[in-house]
């Protein structure tokens, strides 16, 4: 069985006033862990993590995997949503991951595009997806540049913060597989770093969720539950920036496996859920997958 991984971490979001601090560290931490477990790891950090590069990285890993292989993809950065144009979303919003060039022309990598990239895989390829980003179903006023650097920041980027007036954000994914066009931006964007007035919509879900295939045993671990006002947080631990979910996931993994070398993803999630939420980090980590996937041995 071949084991490959793609670790993405983006702190720098030019033109949005919503830079983060811990995402590159997250990616380094996941890469070190997975590399130590026999994974061949590719990393995309900051300016290297364009929409095109993210899509190509996923396509290459998924397309190169054979039956029985394990592919792990981690993403640390902002989540967002865009208006749904395909009519497949009850809340009329597509959730997405925010690449480095989200405002410069790439746009978000939306759930429909991720689904198409993953649908090209061969039967029997196992996926584990780890998302330390927000998938909130609410446009909120983000904390932005006014927030002190040592306090937690939400990893959520409202549409108004990155969509430029009159600019269509066409996808930058490779021609194969084909990807749907991202909708045009609204006519009157908010000022840089400031979201529009709060507007509640029906829900939010992890952008990776549509890519899951239950019959293949896929698993998703994400930093927060789906639904309105759900956020993952960017913060510091002992002075070092990290995502709260990534920090506690890695901390508890060593503890869980020390207690039981055959520990499962369900055991791991249970341990993370004992660490989060806290008073200053009100997020509840989520695990999505079949019972068989949840009860599989971690990264095996």
Tell me the CATH number at 32.
3.40.50.1460
Instruction: Indicate the number of domains in the chain.
Output: 1
How far is Cα 166 from Cα 297, in angstroms, rounded to an integer?
49
H helix and E strand count, the chain = 7, 14
Using DSSP's 3-state secondary structure scheme, residue 234 falls into strand
In a domain, 95, yes or no: yes
In a domain, 299, yes or no: no
pLDDT reported for residue 247: 95
Q: pLDDT digit string (tens) for 211-228?
A: 788 888 899 998 876 655
In a domain, 46, yes or no: yes
Using DSSP's 3-state secondary structure scheme, residue 5 falls into strand
In a domain, 265, yes or no: yes
Buried b (16+ CB within 10 A) or exposed e, 30-55: bbebbeeeebebebbbbeebbbbbbb
Domain that holds residue 69: 3-294
CA atoms within 13 A on the CB side of 188: 2
Weakly modelled stretches of the chain, pLDDT under 70: 83-93, 135-151, 153-205, 225-230
pLDDT reported for residue 112: 87
In a domain, 300, yes or no: no
Taking the chain, what is the end-to-end CA distance rounded to the nearest angstrom?
9
pLDDT reported for residue 178: 38
Cα 45 off chain centre by: 14
In a domain, 258, yes or no: yes
In a domain, 71, yes or no: yes
pTM beyond cutoff 0.75: yes
In a domain, 129, yes or no: yes
Q: Provide the annotated active-site residues.
A: 78, 134
Alpha helices in the chain (DSSP H): 23-35, 51-64, 111-119, 159-162, 244-259, 265-275, 291-294
Fill in the DSSP letter of residue 146: G
CA atoms within 13 A on the CB side of 262: 1
């Amino acid at each position: 069985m071949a084991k490959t991984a793609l670790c993405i971490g983006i702190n720098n979001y030019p033109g949005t006033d919503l830079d983060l601090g811990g995402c590159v560290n997250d990616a380094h931490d996941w890469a070190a862990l997975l590399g130590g477990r026999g994974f061949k790891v590719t990393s995309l950090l900051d300016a290297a993590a364009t929409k095109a590069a993210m899509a190509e990285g996923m396509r290459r890993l998924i397309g190169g995997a054979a039956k029985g292989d394990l592919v792990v993809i981690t993403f640390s950065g902002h989540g967002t949503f865009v208006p749904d144009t395909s009519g497949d979303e009850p809340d009329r919003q597509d959730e997405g991951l925010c690449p480095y060039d989200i405002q410069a022309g790439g746009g978000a990598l939306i759930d429909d595009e991720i689904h198409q990239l993953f649908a090209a895989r061969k039967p029997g390829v196992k996926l584990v997806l780890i998302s330390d980003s927000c998938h909130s179903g609410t446009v909120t006023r983000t904390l932005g540049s006014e927030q002190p650097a040592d306090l937690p920041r939400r990893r959520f980027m409202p549409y108004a913060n990155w969509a430029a007036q009159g600019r269509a954000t066409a996808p930058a994914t490779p021609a194969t597989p084909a990807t749907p066009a991202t909708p045009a931006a609204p006519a009157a964007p908010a000022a840089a770093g400031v979201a529009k007035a709060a507007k509640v919509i029906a829900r939010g879900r992890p952008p990776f969720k549509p890519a899951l295939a239950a019959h293949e045993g896929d698993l998703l671990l994400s930093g927060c539950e789906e639904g309105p006002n759900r956020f993952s947080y960017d913060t510091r631990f002992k002075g070092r920036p990290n995502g709260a979910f990534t920090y506690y996931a890695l901390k508890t993994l060593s503890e869980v496996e020390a207690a039981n070398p055959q520990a499962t993803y369900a055991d791991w999630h249970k341990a993370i859920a004992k660490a989060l939420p806290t008073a200053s980090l009100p997020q509840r980590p989520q695990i999505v997958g079949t019972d068989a996937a949840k009860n599989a041995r971690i990264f095996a």
